Amino acid sequence: MTGLTSSQELALLDLYKREIIARLQAIYWNSDLGKFFKELLPSAKRIDELRLKFDDEKLFAGKLWDELMLSPMKGAIYVTLLNFLAEGCNLKAEESLDLHALLNLTTREKERRSYFQQVLIHYEKLMRFVDVDKVLDFLKTIEPYEKVVELIAQDIQEEDPATKKKILLRTIPRLGSESFFDILKAMYDGNADVNAFIEKIVPNFLRRYELLCEDRINSSSIIQKNPFICVSIKKELCGNALEGENTIICAPTGSGKTIVAAHIIKEYLKSQSLNRKSNQPLRKVLFLTPTTCILDQQANAMRKYLQHAYKIITTCGADQTPLEGAIEDNDVIFTTPQMIVNLLKNDDSYGDIEFPKKPFHLSTFGMIVFDEVHGTRKNSPYSNIMQQYHRDKFAAKTGKEELPQIIGLTASIGVGNSKDREQALKYVISMCALLDSPTLSMVRNNHDDLDRYSTPTTDECWKSISVDENQGLFINALIDLMFALEKDILKLIESTHKLPEYHFFRNLTDDFGYSKFANPEVLSKPPTEKGEAYEHWLSNAMRRLVPEDSKLSELTKAKILKKMEVLQKLFDGLQMASLFPTNYTLDELQQYFSNENFQKIDPHAVTLWQLLQGKLQELASAECALVNDLVSLLCEPKSDEDFRAIIFIKTRRIKEKQMKSEYITGLNAKSDAESTSKQKQADKLARFENGETKCLIATSVAEEGLDIAKCNLVIKYSHVTNEIAGVQRRGRARAKNSRCVLLTFDEKLIKREEANNQKERLMKEVMDLLFTGSFSLKSKVNDEVREIYEEIQRKDAERGEKKKRLKESGIDYDVECKICSSFLCKSSDVKVAKSQYCVTSGDFWEKVFYKRITVSKNIYEGIGVIFCRGEVSGSSCSKALGRILNIKNAPIPILTADELKFTWEEKGEKKARTFRKWKQITEALFHPNGLRNFDIGEMRNAPKAPIMNQFENVVCDLGSIE
């Protein structure tokens, strides 16, 4: 169970002898509990004999302990006691479970366990040599131990010398590996025998301790690893929640919000165990994180504090664990919000193929913790959950539901797009109202303590020189190529449209800047190819405007879309060339244009590239001023040898240069090459933590929640978002004297950073106002809560009417490839199961070809990828349309919404629509029926269906698909 030897187990039991004897007293009053120990005693009746002999439970328990220690089978006492504490001790059950967790060393982190085992291995000599008063006096000189030493000193005042030693030895090593060395240092120089003993345990001890002290001074590592939080801070942050109030806990990164949440959860579960009726189930705790990256991290932290008293599980869409079962079988459930949103759906889009979906209610949970709660806005999964909460809240007035307590965690609520204090105040109130939280929990009275536990970070801006001449010429050459391709597109359009009428390309013929045209959602083409506006325009044109055009022929649309794909690739190249050495961009573009299939589809684009290629090769360089400044920043002289840096970047493009680096992105990054599995993320973070990797390159995935303690430098590499992200990124730097630097040559980004800093100051002003006695947050929140529910009711009614109209329309849409317009299936052929949109027409296999893929643990990746078999200009379209899942040993094609086009006839005119998500399709066009076993059989037996033994035998459990 723990990996301890028999002698170590007995040493551990002796450390907790006093507490064990206290628990054994329960047997005096309940003889049935003695069954655990009968085989260890001389006779089966020995416990009854002891109960008759002693008229005091304390004397009885003490004698029972003595006889157990004399038992010839005392090697089995450790396991027997664990079973007794876990299952048999009903008296003082909570205390028994706590003791069980302390004795079961699997509750400790690996590093701490290894040092605690050193105490057990050398237990007899430590008990002989340790001087408690001397050790405590020494530990008082180390700041993080001060409060702990005070508690130990109070606890041992009335104890005998042996018990004092035991309390010391069992308490201090739980604080971390450094504390074991601190105890040894306090003992050192006592006498030759003591010194020899210490040198045997830790060879060259004094030098190793000297290095430990240097590391402690430079990086404050003991504070970072310490699993404790200042009592005054915890009291302020926990107060509202422990009184049963919904609240948002707002505290700086690194100040211990996770520890606070753990304490709140533990107290809630304890109160549930003590106060609920015998026939009532334990109401669960739901802990939500916005990304899968931090699920395991937060769950592991919670296990540390809750230990083995409660069952904890993590589950996400990529797991094979059915969420309903995970909730039923565990006490604390860690998951992502979309998983809960799917459970709450009241239609058949998340139903089982054989049984109707059981209703699921938020009242299953007694408490919901929203980590990084500032993400609760608009139509986010957090917001969707809270909308259901508000529906339940007003239903609760009629006694239908019991609401969970809501706890929000964040380092910064934010102020949205607020320009002044009044707008910012309104934003914060609306956030509190959406979370139904009439209180905010912040540190207001103990700022000195907060500063000790939350390391301040210096904000800087490092302005690099602008692009050099060759880099600028390289970029301009790419823009010339993009302009030539745009002219090609114009010629294709001219065959059908009068250009002034074709609004989305109007800026090529006259300079109207960013003016809007007939479609208010669509921007005209910006006059420059360098900015975000161009990317937005291009995405809109590819996704909607061209595919939905009713006048262009299908062949013309296919050609335009292919050219726009080239424009997208060149735009990506522009971004890359402005931030990194231009030879990186040249290599990628050469590979792209050399694709044989692409050369057949658009030979003119290839010709244009070939004409430009020579010039680009002359201009390309392995040098880049911005990268050189980055390297200089990373290689500055440092006082701390144990240096770590995180570089935040929009896309991962930095390659290793003078420093070992790794990157992490989200689990659902756009390309497989850039996506990072959960295990890989954990491995990379572990290497960063232990110093094997010194530099971590991250997209926004590392902004929120990731516990990266040893980080001295955060660099925002020409990338600025909003004030919340700024707080989160700065919070990644947790070591002492750490820095957060914006590195850019772009004046616009510098101004945006300044605007974000101003928003942070505005948010602080609002928080100060909220805690003045004259302001009633509770009444303001309650007023807005009612307004939120009225808005939810209005939108629910609108959705209901819209769904009814869609059902009555009876239109059966043609589902086509967005690129080549090849017919794929009818909308009536699309069925849904667990939010997966499946094709159930056997003829579909004739419209596509497929490729087998290596099966990973992520079930979303499926067993194969499907591609369009249509043609563009005589060549294969080959557009990826989705995946193949193995459902009940049948190949089921799953369509990706963004690659499709839906067409229909209306008043003699062909209409077309494209969408980014299936949610948009179901709201605008049709609601698919649920997938049936009959449909699965049809697809399994279709003449052109893939043969299943071609694929690895991984069957998708629909109960685990998100």
The CA-CA-CA angle for residues 371, 372, 375, to 5°, reads: 120
| CB atoms near residue 908 (< 10 Å) | 5
Least confident of 39-43, 709-713, 880-884: 709-713
Same domain? For 602 and 641 the reply is no
What pLDDT score does 828 carry? 92
Residue 13 scores a pLDDT above 50 = yes
pLDDT band at residue 848 using 50, 70 and 90 as cut-offs: very high
- Side-chain-side CA neighbours of 201 within 13 Å: the count stands at 26
3-class DSSP assignment, residue 611: helix
Over residues 54-65, the mean pLDDT reads 89
What pLDDT score does 344 carry? 85
Q: Mean pLDDT across the chain, nearest whole number?
A: 77
3-class DSSP assignment, residue 242: helix
What pLDDT score does 107 carry? 45
Same domain? For 685 and 818 the reply is no
Q: How far apart are CA 222 and CA 710, in angstroms?
A: 11
| Residue 230 or 883, more confident | 883
Same domain? For 633 and 605 the reply is no
Least confident of 190-194, 424-428, 437-441, 881-885: 190-194
Same domain? For 37 and 114 the reply is yes
Do 884 and 891 touch, CB atoms closer than 8 A?
yes
Over residues 422-444, the mean pLDDT reads 90
What pLDDT score does 702 carry? 53
Q: How far apart are CA 284 and CA 294, in angstroms?
A: 20
pLDDT tens string 698-752: 876 555 555 555 677 888 888 777 545 555 545 544 555 678 888 888 888 888 8
Same domain? For 263 and 354 the reply is yes
Do 416 and 427 touch, CB atoms closer than 8 A?
yes
pLDDT band at residue 291 using 50, 70 and 90 as cut-offs: confident
What pLDDT score does 498 carry? 55
3-class DSSP assignment, residue 230: coil
pLDDT band at residue 102 using 50, 70 and 90 as cut-offs: confident
Over residues 49-59, the mean pLDDT reads 88
Least confident of 700-704, 892-896, 906-910: 700-704
Over residues 594-601, the mean pLDDT reads 70
Residue 839 scores a pLDDT above 90 = yes
Contacts of 949 (CB under 8 A, 6+ apart): none
Same domain? For 610 and 695 the reply is no
Assigned token pair, 910: 């062909």
Assigned token pair, 485: 């391709």
Residue 761 located in a structural domain: no
What CATH number is attached to the domain comprising 871?
A: 2.170.150.30
Same domain? For 260 and 182 the reply is no
What pLDDT score does 857 carry? 44
| Residue 931 or 460, more confident | 931
What pLDDT score does 414 carry? 83
- Side-chain-side CA neighbours of 237 within 13 Å: the count stands at 30
What whole-number percentage of the chain has pLDDT above 90? 12
What pLDDT score does 675 carry? 46
Same domain? For 523 and 388 the reply is no
Q: Which residue has the tokens 């990628």?
A: 588
pLDDT tens string 542-588: 777 777 776 778 788 888 888 888 888 888 888 888 888 899 889 98
Q: Which of 710, 728, 744 is the last residue of a domain?
A: 744
Over residues 686-694, the mean pLDDT reads 78
Residue 795 located in a structural domain: no
pLDDT tens string 457-491: 667 777 776 667 888 889 888 888 888 888 888 88
| Residue 123 or 527, more confident | 123
Residue 760 located in a structural domain: no
Range of the domain at 102: 6-219
pLDDT tens string 122-136: 889 889 998 888 888
Over residues 32-43, the mean pLDDT reads 83
Residue 135 located in a structural domain: yes
What pLDDT score does 853 carry? 72
What pLDDT score does 830 carry? 95
What CATH number is attached to the domain comprising 343?
A: 3.40.50.300
Q: Which of 399, 425, 453 is the last residue of a domain?
A: 453
Q: How far apart are CA 689 and CA 712, in angstroms?
A: 12
Relative to beta strand 695-698, strand 713-717 is unpaired
Q: How far apart are CA 705 and CA 289, in angstroms?
A: 9
Amino acid letter for position 15: L
| CB atoms near residue 16 (< 10 Å) | 18
Same domain? For 319 and 435 the reply is yes
What pLDDT score does 961 carry? 33
Contacts of 285 (CB under 8 A, 6+ apart): 265, 268, 269, 331, 332, 333, 365, 366, 367, 368, 369
3-class DSSP assignment, residue 236: helix
What pLDDT score does 512 carry? 28
Residue 783 located in a structural domain: no
What pLDDT score does 673 carry? 41
pLDDT band at residue 515 using 50, 70 and 90 as cut-offs: very low
Residue 374 located in a structural domain: yes
Residue 415 scores a pLDDT above 90 = no
Same domain? For 687 and 587 the reply is no
What pLDDT score does 686 carry? 75
Q: Which of 421, 453, 485 is the last residue of a domain?
A: 453
What whole-number percentage of the chain has pLDDT above 70? 75
> Which of 97-101, 211-215, 652-656, 688-692 has the largest mean confidence?
688-692
Same domain? For 516 and 640 the reply is no
Q: How far apart are CA 566 and CA 488, in angstroms?
A: 12
3-class DSSP assignment, residue 199: helix
Strand order in the sheet with 823-826: 823-826, 814-817, 900-906, 909-913
For 134-171, the three-class secondary structure string (H helix, E strand, C coil) is: HHHHHHCCCHHHHHHHHHHHHHCCCCCHHHHHHHHHHH
> Which of 313-322, 572-581, 676-685 has the largest mean confidence?
572-581
What pLDDT score does 672 carry? 41
In total, how many domains does the chain have? 5
Element (H, E) at 284: strand 284-288
**Overall pTM > 0.75:** no
What pLDDT score does 488 carry? 85
Residue 408 scores a pLDDT above 90 = yes
Same domain? For 277 and 424 the reply is yes
CA distances from 407 to 262, 366, 373, 708 (A): 11, 11, 9, 23
Residue 567 located in a structural domain: yes
pLDDT tens string 741-795: 888 888 888 888 888 888 888 888 888 888 876 678 888 899 999 999 999 999 8
What pLDDT score does 352 carry? 46
Relative to beta strand 645-648, strand 439-441 is unpaired
| CB atoms near residue 269 (< 10 Å) | 22
Q: What sections of 659-811 are H helices per DSSP?
A: 678-690, 723-731, 747-770, 777-809
Do 739 and 714 touch, CB atoms closer than 8 A?
yes
Residue 391 located in a structural domain: yes
Q: How far apart are CA 407 and CA 322, in angstroms?
A: 25
What pLDDT score does 90 carry? 47
First to last CA, the chain: 35
pLDDT band at residue 311 using 50, 70 and 90 as cut-offs: confident
